[in-house]
């Protein structure tokens, strides 16, 4: 019983960062992936806790454009949580550091990414941001039945996959 309680509590607590990385955003690949350069070293970073539409999917290019405007060419800080199966850093990205904007939250707030529920702790503010974007029909929530990227990837298996076909 105690083990179950500890497990449930761990889902509601914030996830500690492995490392704080800083540099300049030199590329934005899609609505949830960018490249950070720090002292000549380039790191591919996946915005943790969100999943943006694929580029070939409706709102995919809009999502990438928004992240580009928010981050490209700007100083950024990444709070690394872990690395994914492709070796990318998974973390929260703050662009325009030191007083910058949480890019993960901004993409969800603008309706340009889904909350990636599988590994996001309960109580994360991203859930409320997504609910608000849905209610106000921002971005992809204007569509009557937007297709989550993990479902879209399953429906289009011949496309190059940059992430797993199911939520992380």
**Which candidate in 64, 81, 88, 153 is catalytic?**
88
**Which candidate in 46, 64, 81, 163 is catalytic?**
46
The answer to whether residue 46 is catalytic is yes
The answer to whether residue 88 is catalytic is yes
The answer to whether residue 163 is catalytic is no
**Which candidate in 54, 81, 106, 130 is catalytic?**
54
Q: Which two tokens stand for residue 56?
A: 């070939």
3-class secondary structure for the chain?
Answer: CHHHHHHHHHHHCCCCCCEEEEEEEEEEEECCEEEEEECCEEEEEEECCEECCCCCCCCHHHHHHHHHHHHCCCEEEEEEEEECCCCCEEEEEEECCCCCEEHHHHHHHCCCCEECCCCCCCCCHHHHHHHHHHHCCCHHHHCCCCCCHHHHHHHCCCCCCCCCCCCC
Point out the residues that are catalytic. 46, 54, 88
């Amino acid at each position: 019983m105690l083990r179950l309680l500890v497990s449930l509590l761990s889902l509601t607590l914030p996830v500690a960062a492995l490392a704080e990385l800083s540099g300049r955003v030199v590329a934005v690949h899609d609505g949830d992936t960018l490249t950070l350069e720090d002292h000549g070293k380039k790191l591919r970073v996946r915005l943790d806790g969100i999943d943006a539409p694929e580029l070939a999917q409706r709102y995919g290019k809009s999502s990438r454009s928004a992240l580009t405007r928010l981050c490209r060419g700007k100083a950024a800080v990444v709070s690394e949580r872990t690395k994914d199966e492709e070796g990318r850093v998974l973390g929260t990205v703050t662009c325009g550091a030191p007083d910058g904007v949480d890019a993960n939250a901004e993409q969800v707030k603008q309706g340009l990414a889904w909350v990636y529920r599988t590994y996001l702790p309960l109580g994360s503010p991203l859930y409320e941001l997504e609910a608000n974007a849905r209610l106000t029909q921002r971005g992809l929530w204007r569509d009557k039945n937007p297709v989550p990227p993990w479902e879209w990837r399953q429906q289009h298996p011949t496309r190059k996959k940059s992430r797993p076909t199911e939520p992380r």
